[in-house]
Amino acid sequence: MFLLKKIKINHIICIIFSVIFIFPLILTITNSFMSIFEIKNNYNNLENQFMFIRLIPKRISLNQYFDLLIRNPMYLNLFWNAIKYVIPIVFFNILFSFITSYALFRINNKITDFIFLIYVIVMLMPYQVICVPNFIIINKLNLMDSYFAIVLPAIFNPLGTFLLRVYISSIPNSYIESAKIEGASEFDICFNIVLPMIKSGIISLFIIMFIEYWNMVEQPLIFLQSKEKFPLSVFLSSISNKDPSLIFAASSFYMIPAIIIFLYLQKYFIKGIAMSGLKQ
């Protein structure tokens, strides 16, 4: 009986915190269907309506979405800019991280341990620290204000190598030894045995990297000067300062890719996080 009550209390606490964390998301989506007059009326009267924010619109309006996607091409241009940056970053970072982590796992000696330690140290540093050498290198290569100024540094983000090496280290050596006895080459072991066994880790890294660079702000502000090259994460707040309904609509549309990816891959992500601490 006591255990049952404890479980119910835990569920209630989880539900409360879930509602608190998801409330801004719901507020953004519902407000995106309100007209500008209704939004201004709601938020201008917040002082007289303490702890009251209207979630359900009195009348659904789609004018802001029409203005955003049809009348104003700037939003879609910036949206596609973000996609053009994120897709190659995620793909090549996963590829580089997998090959590097596999090499560090297979060539297991003091040198590779030291290299992995360097990866960990760089990973723990805030971006502001590694931004300076990145800026110097990109400037020396004459890549400032270019597509590669954003993509190249992100491809070599050490987080992927660290994460995938943890997954690969959890694979029992008996699998690899059996494959070697059967005559499998290093290529076969890498891509036909190890890669399928860390599928959840690959997907977890995919989600983490996508979210991180989908919402990047500092990199474009530092390495790009042309506003037409900005991703939407930088320019979102400047779309319209006079129409809050347009801001809510733009924010809601901007969240769609991240939400779809997480909802579709969440079971692999949860499994991957649970397995990341296991080692046999």
Domain CATH for 155: 1.10.3720.10
pLDDT digits (tens, 9 = 90+) for 61-70: 888 888 888 8
Q: Do 176 and 198 fall within a single domain?
A: yes
Name the least confident of 23-32, 46-55, 197-206, 235-244.
46-55
**Total domains in the fold of the chain:** 2
Q: Do 180 and 50 fall within a single domain?
A: no
Q: Do 83 and 14 fall within a single domain?
A: no
Answer yes or no: is 30 within a domain.
yes
Q: Do 15 and 83 fall within a single domain?
A: no
Answer yes or no: is 47 within a domain.
yes
Q: Do 140 and 166 fall within a single domain?
A: yes
Answer yes or no: is 239 within a domain.
yes
Q: Do 109 and 214 fall within a single domain?
A: yes
pTM above 0.95, yes or no: no
Domain that holds residue 47: 1-61
Distances (CA, A) of 135 to 84, 149, 220, 234, 249: 21, 9, 12, 19, 35
Q: Do 84 and 13 fall within a single domain?
A: no
pLDDT, average across residues 9-32:
84
pLDDT of residue 7: 60
Q: Name the percent of the chain lying above pLDDT 90.
A: 25
Answer yes or no: is 67 within a domain.
no
pLDDT of residue 126: 86
pLDDT, average across residues 242-258:
84
The more confidently predicted of residues 188 and 237 is 188
pLDDT, average across residues 119-136:
88
Cβ–Cβ under 8 Å, residues 157 and 131: no
Q: Is the pLDDT of residue 177 over 50?
A: yes
Answer yes or no: is 264 within a domain.
yes
Answer yes or no: is 280 within a domain.
no
Q: Do 90 and 51 fall within a single domain?
A: no
The more confidently predicted of residues 134 and 269 is 134
Amino acid residing at 140: K
pLDDT band at 280, cuts 50/70/90? very low
pLDDT of residue 271: 65
Answer yes or no: is 196 within a domain.
yes
Q: Do 156 and 253 fall within a single domain?
A: yes
Answer yes or no: is 48 within a domain.
yes
pLDDT of residue 274: 58
Cβ–Cβ under 8 Å, residues 62 and 213: no
pLDDT band at 4, cuts 50/70/90? low
Rounded-to-integer distance, Cα 271 and Cα 200, Å: 7
Q: Do 27 and 119 fall within a single domain?
A: no
